Amino acid sequence: MVMRFTLLASAAAILATPAFAQEQETSAEDGAGAGEIVVTAQRRAERLADVPISITALSGEGLANAGVRSTEDLTSAVPGLNFATNGAFAQPTVRGIGTTVSAAGSDANVAIYVDGVYQPNQIGNFSDLVDVEQVEVLKGPQGTLFGRNATGGAIRVTTRAPSWTPAARVSASYGSFDEVKVSGYVTGPVSDRLAVSLGLVYGDDDGYVRNIGTGNKVAQSKVFGVRGKLLFKASDALDFTLSAAHNARTSNPAFTLGVLGGNNSSLSATGSIPASGPRQVSLSFDPTITVDSNQFSLTARADLGFAQLTSITSYGEIETYLVTDTDRTNLALGRADIPGTEKTWTQEVNLVSQGSDDLKWFLGAFYYNDDSSNYTQINLGSLYNVITLKTEAIAPFGEVNYSIGDLTLIAGARYNIEKKDYSIVRGASSIVRETTYKTFTPRLGLRYKLSPSSMVYATYSKGFKSGGFDGILASGQLAVNPVFPEKVDAWEVGYKYGRGGNSLAISAYYYDYSNIQFQAFNPNAGGLTQVFNAAAAEIYGGEIEGTLEPVDGLTLRAALAYNHSTYKNFPGASVYCPRGAPTQGNALIAIGALNPCSGQVNADGATGNQLIRTPEFTASLSAAYRHELGNGGSLDLSGSGFYSGAFYWDPNNRLREQPYVLMNAEIAYNLPGDHVRLAVWGRNLANELYAIYKTEAAAGDSVAYARPRSFGVSAQVKF
């Protein structure tokens, strides 16, 4: 507890410092200076301090200093973000807005982009952050700027572009659990107009959990990824970038599910062997999550003088295969095999004004065509479910910024038109449905510059998450349940300061979140889940984050976030109460029935409870220091700490995650010439036990834990 309060106090002290720097500044010029971060969150390159949106932006070096190696690790570096796991599905939650829906074609409501290309597949959005130039996390609804399924925000990953300056880098590391990772990057010119780059990553480890049902190590991952880019500069005003990427990943940490609290109805079956401790599970086979994806994109940029025209065309295909032990015991009682495919075409065109006039604008159009399907096979029998969802969407959008002296007026809008075609086959029954959604998502705001280095802002924006359908069993018959779009109305005020390597951002927000889509186990559907519109919620809070460079070579970064979230209306929530010995499992408490766990009548489900995956307080602190040595070499010291307050995995607020602190550190020696780097690193140094996934069902409660403390060494050679 002392450590946690120390971390919070340190964050507050560091964040206060840049305010004094503002008072002492003597001069500053417009445009980004040395050390300042430039982002493209508003479709144009701007200083982070000038953008009236809550954004956490981290360079590749900043990610390494904060101990961020993958998309899941972003939780520890971005205030208000929980990059949550729902089994095999990546479901980031920003300021309380996330999703539990994992059906075919159901995207997360925090949109993820890689090099400007939308990434819809939740299973495919776990990735290693290799050869990353910058990551921008935009918080709050981005319905105007980034459209569909950005109700919570957007995560923009930018990888390194090809360069005419030859460069190469190879890195290798070895750590606990026989973790091996090798990555490489090379770039250079082919001619005076053509440059190429190639990046790859390979990773493998033995896992950190023992499955006593098979005797094997599980909770392991194996990944191989390669990305190639070809940049053709046709003229000073026109260039094209062709990109191709392949990723193959096999992992099972999130499916390495053990019994939580001994609550599982199958444990009483003859021959059942319970696991002992959090680093053991007892499963009849080793589960797996397999992903194989390919993506191609062509980006064209033309300088028209008065504006820049950008076109991004992309095609992606992904195959997934999930195998999970549904009874969580060493007995062969329940198994689900879920293969899936997804093919996606996108086309986006943007026209962005150039120059420093008082009037700035952009116009754009986005086209989306997605064909998703998944299949469910229970206990290796015949196919239980076949679901297909086809989505075709088009959205014109635009925004105008008009400055009157130091005051800037902001007005933008997007009009979304989405057509959904859904089909489900279950046994001899099949149903086909279609619908079209039309939604208007505006953005309004004011920005006032207090000085060349600081400003205040106020914005209103609207978010939209697409709807769809869900096949359900009603009175033993197959039926289709319409799922309507989510909507968020968001108000935010903030202050930003940025000069050189020092920055400060403070924001406060209020969200009215309605028509929330929720996925829960349906005991009448063979252990499958049902998707429905569940609730309305109220969310408000505030964040403060900043960066400070007090002396040469030292960079400090800290953040503190507060979030209050409440389900205003959620009577349809599944309210479970453990039955206890000898039967175990959970009893579903109907509305109006007495809940033995609380001693009260279940009058209104989860109404009044805290939103899932949303701690009230989070804080982070990182430091990086380079010390130059007399022999021409240098020493790099970096460390990071992250505090998460308690939160719940279920709307009934029964499955609680205790507060925890994560600490990472690295010490590296750079040989003279700065071409070779040798390092020793450690992650989760306090060996905190925390979950990456908890879930409840009628059969009981399950949990998968994160990786324990680990150490390793690494080497890097660059030219």
Tens digits of per-residue pLDDT, 293-309? 999 999 999 999 999 99
| pLDDT in the model for residue 637 | 95
pLDDT band at 523 (very low <50, low <70, confident <90, very high): low
Check: CB of residue 93 under 8 Å from CB of residue 84. yes
Higher model confidence: residue 102 or residue 322?
322
Tens digits of per-residue pLDDT, 336-359? 999 999 999 999 999 999 987 899
| pLDDT in the model for residue 581 | 83
pLDDT band at 90 (very low <50, low <70, confident <90, very high): confident
Q: Which residue from 64, 62, 35, 66 is spatially nearest to 48, judged by alpha carbons? A: 35
Q: 25-34, 454-463, 566-575 — which is least confidently predicted? A: 25-34
- Each domain of the chain, given as residue ranges in start order, spans 2-570+606-718
Predicted confidence (pLDDT) at residue 528 exceeds the cutoff of 70: no
| pLDDT in the model for residue 8 | 41
Tens digits of per-residue pLDDT, 211-266? 999 999 999 999 999 999 999 999 999 999 999 999 999 988 989 999 999 999 99
Predicted confidence (pLDDT) at residue 14 exceeds the cutoff of 70: no
Check: CB of residue 141 under 8 Å from CB of residue 147. no
Stated as kind and residue range, the H or E segment containing 10 is helix 2-24
- Distance in angstroms (rounded) separating the CA atoms of residues 222 and 249: 6
| pLDDT in the model for residue 4 | 41
Tens digits of per-residue pLDDT, 141-163? 888 888 778 888 898 999 999 99
| pLDDT in the model for residue 123 | 74
Three-state secondary structure of 15-67 = HHHHHHHHHHCCCCCCCCCCCCCEECCCCCCEEHHHCCCEEEEEEHHHHHHCC
Q: Which residue from 129, 119, 156 is spatially nearest to 60, judged by alpha carbons? A: 129
What residue has token string 């697409």?
466
| pLDDT in the model for residue 68 | 79
Higher model confidence: residue 49 or residue 284?
284
Question: What average pLDDT does this structure show over 396-425?
Answer: 94
| pLDDT in the model for residue 72 | 81
DSSP string of 476-504?
A: TEEEEEEEPPEEEEEEEEEEEEEETTEEE
pLDDT band at 419 (very low <50, low <70, confident <90, very high): very high
pLDDT band at 7 (very low <50, low <70, confident <90, very high): very low
| pLDDT in the model for residue 13 | 41
Predicted confidence (pLDDT) at residue 511 exceeds the cutoff of 60: yes
Question: What average pLDDT does this structure show over 589-593?
Answer: 90
Which CATH number applies to 2-570+606-718: 2.40.170.20, 3.30.1540.10, 3.40.50.300, 3.40.1190.20?
A: 2.40.170.20
Tens digits of per-residue pLDDT, 533-557? 878 999 999 999 999 999 999 999 9
| pLDDT in the model for residue 131 | 82
Distances (CA, A) of 544 to 8, 18, 540, 650, 660: 12, 12, 14, 28, 20
| pLDDT in the model for residue 411 | 96
Predicted confidence (pLDDT) at residue 11 exceeds the cutoff of 90: no
- Distance in angstroms (rounded) separating the CA atoms of residues 575 and 608: 13
Give pTM, 2 decimals.
Answer: 0.90
How is residue 393 written in tokens?
């969407």
Predicted confidence (pLDDT) at residue 500 exceeds the cutoff of 70: yes
Predicted confidence (pLDDT) at residue 29 exceeds the cutoff of 80: no
How is residue 100 written in tokens?
């539990």
DSSP string of 249-265?
A: EEE-GGG-PEEEEEEEG
Instruction: Return the top range by mean pLDDT from 15-19, 515-519, 579-583, 681-685.
Output: 681-685
| pLDDT in the model for residue 471 | 82
Predicted confidence (pLDDT) at residue 430 exceeds the cutoff of 50: yes
Report H helices in 536-689.
none
